A = this chain, B = another copy of it.
Amino acid sequence: MTYQAPVRDILFTLEHVCGLEALEETGAFTDLSPDLVRAIITEAGKFTTQELAPLNRTGDLHGSTLVDGIVTTAPGFKQAYTKFVEGGWQGLSFAEAEGGMGLPGVLGVAFMEMLQAANMAFGLGPMLTMGAIEVLIQAGTEQQKQTWLPKLITGEWSASMNLTEPNAGSDVGALRTSASPQADGSFRLKGQKIFITWGEHDCTENIVHLVLARTDDAPAGTKGLSLFLVPKFLEDAAGNFTVRNDAFAIGLEHKLGIHGSPTCVMEYGGSTGAIGWLVGPEMRGMAMMFIMMNSARLNVGAQGVGIAERAWQQAFSYAQERVQGRIAGQGPQPSAIIHHPDVRRMLVDTKAKIAAARAIVYACGLAADMARVGTTEKQRDMAKRREDLLTPMAKSYGSDIGVEVASIGLQIHGGAGFIEETGAAQHYRDARIAPIYEGTNGIQAMDFAGRKLGLQNGLLFDEMIADIHETATACRAAQNTQIEQIANPLQRAAQVMEETVNWMADPARKPEDVLTGATAFQALSCEVIGAHYLAKAALSAVRLVGTKGVNTGFLQGKIELAHYFAMSVLPSVAGRAKQVTIGAAAIFSLDEANLAP
């Protein structure tokens, strides 16, 4: 089977877990209503399921080809991209004044989940274009906006994001690409960038490269970096974009997965110098890049959820079809493997984790919207704090779950899962990049345990923990046995989280001790906050029982998942806390010579 967008789960998460209503109440989105949300998500589900999902394996098999600087994408990609433009999907969450649909960003996140699930290699192009649009909206000059935004927002043009160089991945301060100012106010760029997603392709007429580079005499390190807009085609005298810029793909990477996505080695200024313009102030390249990165981090979280959902659906379907082995006490006939406890356990466990990750990702998207359109400063500030807290969690938990579920999905297939034709292996390969790009999950953990914990004296965490306690209290009063059973584990887990926060935030703590525990701290927080959102889902489900048009079994399922997660995942939190506080000595006392084989 191929992918079927989980419209029912997505809508439930938006409306009854994250509280989309709050966004409707701000009045910032004129026509926003439950009916509109339903219509948009349903349509997005149809588009991704019908047009993009069937091309997923095609992209994997054919990849892209590069001949003389020209990249040709896999069969069907160009046609599907045309439909993507026709649907106006690139502009979903951008203002109508800018040519978009004027919908909230969180709906863009939900769309992103479906897009990535349907076809991760395809979806990466629009994901990066989205980040570039954000930068131009927030920091572009009026002329830049007028020139580049309209066709980026329709999707007629795409964008790429150029950070990495052969010697500088996560350490952007070491970048060497240079930008020399010209008399006309433009710059000439020179340098090589690697791992450039959709850096060159045949789906759009033009490509807008956003490139981090160092101006002449700029200081070393990150503070000397500036961001430049370098189009593939420059404007000619007649106002058409026909002049080829000196920005070429000179190589395509051979990757483990996402073969359909052209990952380019880009050469800027190989002959005459690539013409570009500064975006935002000089030396503020990092700030510009963080606008893109924040958009991309959240979307990579959505991508992880998407690939997990797709892998899960395939494993679920296989488990229903594959008849093998008998069930103890149920006669001699063989049974579908979904009835075998260990297979069932894997399916329930992964479904619960996907639901938790989806809730964290969407909650982050909603907070980002509220931070922008909240009606009071207090509301906006609070939402901003929540967005800041959840962004590294969304990225890391979503992408980690993506890999975990893809791996278990393959396992459920048994030997067939290892055969490429089955398709489960592609998810396992594709998913593996998400914990790496847009800042490795280790770097997310440094952001989470370092910068985010330091903001406003830990207020981001205090507010979240208070929310979790509130949810635990509500569970206790739910008048539903399963939900009541969640209350104590959730409360205890929140206490453990609070203890680890206090340990990490202790001013006497050495940085290396904080960094040693950062990944465990992030993982622990994701599990506790995931349980909190699943509990909120269960509480909503109880309230909704009896509502016309809502399936009672579906609601009961939300209660079961929250209960399972609380009983199965939350008990691991205390153990993780010991990893948080283990201290740097535990890993550095083994010196390199004795660590070696």
On A, residues with C-beta under 8 Å from B are 4, 6, 8-9, 164, 168-171, 174, 194-195, 253-257, 309, 313, 316, 320, 324-325, 328-329, 334, 338, 340-348, 351, 403, 407, 410-411, 414-421, 425, 428-429, 432-433, 435-437, 440-442, 445-446, 511-512, 515-516, 518-519, 553-554, 556-557, 560-561, 563-564, 567-568, 571-579, 582, 584, 586-597
Partner of A324, one of B168, B554, B590: B168
Residue of B579, B592, B596 near A571 (CB, 8 A) is B579
How far apart are A519's CB and chain B's nearest CB, in angstroms?
6
Give the residue name and chain of the B residue nearest to A415 (CB).
Answer: B195
Cα A595 to Cα B340 with chains together (Å): 15
Contact A589 B560 (CB under 8 A): yes
- The one of B169, B254, B345 in contact with A516, judged by C-beta atoms closer than 8 angstroms, is B345
Inter-subunit contact B578/A575 (CB<8 Å): no
B576 & A564 in contact (Cβ 8 Å cutoff): no
In angstroms, Cα B431 to Cα A428, docked, is: 12
For the complex with contacts A313-B597, A346-B442, 4 further pairs of A-B residues with Cβ separation under 8 Å are: A170-B414, A256-B429, A553-B593, A572-B576
Given A255-B420, A345-B516, A567-B578, the answer on whether A320 and B171 have CB atoms closer than 8 Å is no
Query: Contacts of A567 on B, CB cut-off 8 Å?
Result: 578, 582, 586
Evaluate contact between A411 and B435: CB separation under 8 angstroms.
yes
**Beyond A313-B597, A345-B519, A586-B563, is A410–B425 a contact (Cβ under 8 Å)?**
no
In the assembled complex, the CB of A537 is this many whole angstroms from the nearest CB of chain B, namely: 13
Contact B575 A328 (CB under 8 A): no
Determine whether the beta carbon of A418 is less than 8 Å from that of B575: no
- Jot down 16 A-B pairs with beta carbons below 8 A, ordered by A: A169-B416, A170-B325, A171-B325, A340-B515, A341-B587, A342-B519, A345-B516, A403-B407, A407-B407, A410-B432, A411-B440, A417-B436, A418-B436, A425-B432, A563-B586, A567-B582
Chain B positions within 8 Å of A436 at CB level: 411, 414-415, 417-418
Known: A256-B418, A567-B578, A594-B553. A343 touches B560 (CB 8 A): no
| A445 contacts B256, C-beta separation under 8 Å | no
Docked-complex contact B560 and A571, CB < 8 angstroms: no
Q: Is the CB of A587 within 8 A of B564?
A: yes
A571 to chain B, nearest CB (A): 4
Q: Which residues of B contact A168 (CB under 8 A)?
A: 324
Partner of A590, one of B254, B561, B568: B561
Q: Is the CB of A342 within 8 A of B597?
A: no
Q: Which residues of B contact A334 (CB under 8 A)?
A: 171, 174
Q: Would A348 and B590 count as touching, CB distance under 8 A?
A: yes
CA distance A416 to B167 in the complex (A): 11
Complex CA distance for A67 and B256, rounded to whole angstroms: 28
A169 is contacted by which of B9, B329, B407, B414 (Cβ under 8 Å)?
Answer: B414
Are the C-beta atoms of B564 and A571 separated by less than 8 Å? no
The answer on a CB contact under 8 Å between A591 and B553 is: yes
Closest Cβ of chain B: how far from A265's Cβ, in Å? 11
- Please determine whether A255 and B414 come into contact, CB atoms closer than 8 angstroms: no
Most B CB within 10 A of own CB, among A194, A338, A418, A437: A418
A584 vs B418: C-alpha distance in the bound complex, in angstroms?
29
Minimum C-beta distance from A430 to chain B (A): 10
Q: Is the CB of A257 within 8 A of B418?
A: yes
Asked if residues B414 and A590 are in contact (CB atoms below 8 Å), the reply is no
* Distance (whole angstroms) from the CB of A116 to the closest CB of chain B: 16
Instruction: Assess the A255–B419 pair: CB atoms within 8 A.
Output: yes
CA–CA, A489 to B493, complex, Å? 21
Which residues from B are CB-within-8-Å of A320?
Answer: 592
CA distance A346 to B576 in the complex (A): 15
Task: State whether A596 touches B316 (Cβ < 8 A).
Answer: yes
Task: Please determine whether B568 and A579 come into contact, CB atoms closer than 8 angstroms.
Answer: yes
Looking at the assembled complex, report how far the CB atom of A503 sits from the nearest CB atom of chain B, in whole angstroms.
Answer: 15
Complex Cα gap A511–B341 (Å): 10
Q: A511-B329, A515-B340 are in contact. Are A169 and B578 (CB under 8 A)?
A: no
**Given A342-B518, A418-B256, A435-B411; A6-B592 close (CB under 8 Å):** no
Closest to A10 in B: B597
Known A432-B410, A578-B568, A582-B568; judge A595-B316 contact (CB<8 A): yes
CB-defined contacts of A593 to chain B, threshold 8 Å: 553
Question: Hey, which chain B residues are within 8 Å of A584, CB to CB?
Answer: 341
In the bound complex, how far is the Cα of B344 from the Cα of A96, in angstroms? 49
> Contact check: which of B342, B420, B575 meets A445 at CB < 8 Å?
B342
Residue of B nearest to A446 (CB): B342
A421 contact set on B, CB distance < 8 A: 254
Q: A561-B590, A590-B348 are in contact. Are A341 and B418 (CB under 8 A)?
A: no
B597 touches A9 (CB 8 A): yes
